[in-house]
Structure 1
Amino acid sequence: MGYAIVWLVNTVLGLMTWAIIISAIMSWLFAFDVINHRNRFVSQIATVLDAITAPILAPFRRVIPPLGGLDISPIVALLAIHFLRILFNRMSAPFLIQMLG
């Protein structure tokens, strides 16, 4: 059971990482007019990614101002997610595996 919880936490953190990366790439593609919101499929993907990443990025966007039009909050959020992953794997995961098997 402990291995399953560790796997689940690591998978969720990995999916959050990929969602932030894909959302940032899509925002660049929108900014340079490579893709646009008129395409229904692209618009739906952007809406889903925004719904997933907005709660993660909102606290960072409140604290970190955009630097010359460049939003670095996704970078800081990715660093925080990786910090949490390392912290969880080093401190909580061994305890969960030992207690739950």
Structure 2
Amino acid sequence: MAQSGLKTTGRIILALGGGYWATSASFVLFAFLMIACGLPRVEATTLSMMLAFLLYPCLILWVFGARRIGNPFVVFCALIVAGHIAPFFFSQGH
């Protein structure tokens, strides 16, 4: 019974904390991608924010729906790393 509680607690922490962090990193990626496609910065930021509001609940549902917690964990880590590295490659000296 204690093992089941630890797994549930781990999923809750990953879903809320990791999902939020992965969503914020993907927000940055969405914005850079849309700016690179020629969308003005204001519109790219607004659209990225709307997509992030849709992405966060989807990530939370995925964590609880996945059979193994390792798959969402790896994807969250990849999104977080990519979102924090992207500004160094796409900043254009600003």
| TM-score (structure 2 length as normaliser) | 0.44
Greater RCO, 1 or 2 (C-alpha within 8 Å, sep 6+): 1
| TM-score (structure 1 length as normaliser) | 0.42
Structure (1/2) with the larger helix percentage: 2
Larger Rg: 1
